[in-house]
Structures are given as C-alpha cells and as structure tokens.
Structure 1
Amino acid sequence: MALKITLKPKERMIIGGAVVTNGDSKCELLIENKVTLLREKDILSEEEANSPCRRIYFTIQLMYIDHDNLAAHHQMYWQLVRDVIKAAPSTTGLIDAMNEHIVGNRYYQALKLAEKLMEFEQEVIRSV
C-alpha cells in the first residue's frame, strides 16, 4: 500500500537522502516502496542542534538518512547518550527505549522518542 504525502507550497522534505522542495502549489506524492523520508517539520539543522538532547536527535536523523557514515553516527550517538545519562539519570528509561530502536535499525521510531527527550530537556531548562 502506498504512502500518500501532501506537501504545502515551498515545503521541503528528504526522500531517500535527496532534498525535495515543492513548487508554488500544493502537491500530492505517492511513495510506493520503502524509503527513508523526513518532512520539513521533523528536520533539525546542525545549527539548531545546540543542546545535548538536540544533538542526540540530530545524530539519529543522520543515522536515518546517511547510511554511508552509519558507524561514525553510531559512535557519536553512544557518546552523547552516555553524557546525557551521566548529567541527567532520569532520562535513562527514555534513552533505553531509544537504544532498542537504534540497535534494531529503527531510526524513525528512535527519532520520535528523541523528540520526547528534547521536550523533557526543555522542561528541565524552564524549571531552573
């Protein structure tokens, strides 16, 4: 079954490692096979990865879209999560769940958990 995606005018997304930008009008795409894709709202730029949990998200994003450098991304990920757990042990449960997805090569699911990790980080920052 195909995945139907509707893009807003000028909306960008990554499909199979390629950045695709929609034109001036709404567009519908049917993705008929399994491929990595990220909508613009889920893409975090390197400049925006300016906190420990945001760097984790960015690294998982790279794992998901850049398979050619997977070993380097994994190495960075494991170092980042060690640092975060050391600084905030209360993140261990969420990071353990993310780790299961990482080990199982389910990077999109890990990204969704990394969003929750970033939300947790923001809550902690606001409460300080």
Structure 2
Amino acid sequence: MPLKFVLRPNEKVIINGAVIGAGDRPGSFFLYNTANFLRGREVLKEEQIDCIEKKLYFVIQLVYIFPEDTELNLQRFSSILEETRAARPDAVKALGEIEQLVIARNYYRALKICRKMFKGGVEVPDDAVSAESES
C-alpha cells in the first residue's frame, strides 16, 4: 500500500535527499516504494540545536538524509550518543532504543524517539518506546 503525503501550501518534504515543495495550494502525492523522507516540520536546522538531544537528532537526520556520508555521520553519532548518555542518565532506555534502531538502519523511528526526548525533556516510557518500534 502506498504512503500518501498531503502537503500544505508552501510546505516542503525531503525525499531521498531531494527537496520537494508544494505551491500556493495544498497537494498530495504517493510513494509507491521505499524512500527516505522527512517533512519540513521534522527537519532540524543546525542553527536550531540548543541541547544535546537536538544534537543527537541532527546527526541521525544527517545519516538518514545523506546516505553518501553515512560512515562519517555514524562515527559522529557514536560520539554524540556517548555525550548524551553522560548528560541524560535518566534516558538510558530511550537512548538504548535509539542506538538499536540506528544499528538496524531504522533512522526514521530513531528520530521520532529522539524528538520526544527534547520535546518532553524526560525519558520516553518503556511502553511508548516499544510501541514506536512496532509501528
């Protein structure tokens, strides 16, 4: 079953590294095969990084969007993950889940869990992390 995207007027989405934007009217399109994508509202810009969780999110985003630089960005991810573990000992389980998802190349789900960490500021409950990995 294809994935349907509906873009609001002037909204953007990144699909396999290409930025696609809607015009002045809403529009929809379908993805019929596997693709790496992030909606504009899910993209974190480097200048928006103001905490360690956002730094971790940003490097996962780089791995996801720019597969040609995966090796370098995975090295950065490992380093930033250790920094995050030191800064957020309360988030051990969520960070472990993020690490496992990145190892499994499930970057989109890793981003979702990471985003919850900096939105709520607290560790994602065990049952929520498990639910994320199943969807």
For residues 63 and 53 of structure 1, what CA distance do their matches in structure 2 show? 16
Task: Give the direction of change, closer, same or farther, for the CA distance of 1:42–1:99 in structure 2 (3 Å limit).
Answer: same
2:40 counterpart letter in structure 1: E
Deviation at 1:30, TM superposition (A): 1.0
Cα deviation, residue 119, structure 1: 2.4
Q: 2:104 corresponds to which residue?
A: 104
Residue 87 (structure 1) shift: 2.3
Give the number of aligned pairs: 123
The Cα RMSD (Å) is: 1.5
Deviations 1:105-127 (A, max 9, x none): 0000100111122124389xxxx
Matches within 5 A, 1:5-16: 5-16=5-16
Aligned to 1:126: none
Contact 2:91–2:122 at 8 Å: present in 1 too? Answer: no
Q: Which residue of 1 aligns with 2:54?
A: 54
The structure 1 segments of at least 4 consecutive aligned residues displaced by more than 2 Å after TM superposition are 119-123
Aligned counterparts of 2:65 and 2:27: Cα–Cα separation in 1: 23
1:67 is matched with 67
Residue ranges of structure 1 left out of the alignment (5+ in a row): 124-128
Structure 1 counterpart of 2:121 = 121
How far does the alpha carbon of each residue in 1:17-40 deviate from its partner, in whole angstroms, 9 at most, with x for none?
A: 101111111101011111111111
What secondary structure does 1:20 align onto? Answer: strand
Give TM-score, length-normalised by structure 1.
0.90
Describe the superposition over 1:47-78 as per-residue Cα deviations: whole angstroms up to 9, x where unpaired.
11222110100111111111000011111111
With normalisation by structure 2, the TM-score equals 0.86
Counterpart in the other structure of 2:78: 78
Provide the C-alpha distance between the structure 2 equivalents of 1:41 and 1:110, rounded to a whole number of angstroms: 16
Q: State the secondary structure of the residue aligned to 2:57.
A: helix
Q: For the Cα contact (< 8 Å) 2:56–2:84, is it kept in 1? A: no
SS state at 2:14 partner: strand
Specify every segment of 5 or more residues in structure 2 that has no aligned partner in the other structure, as ranges: 124-135
CA–CA separation in structure 2 for the residues paired with 1:122 and 1:24:
38
- The answer to whether the aligner puts 1:37 opposite 2:61 as a matched pair is no
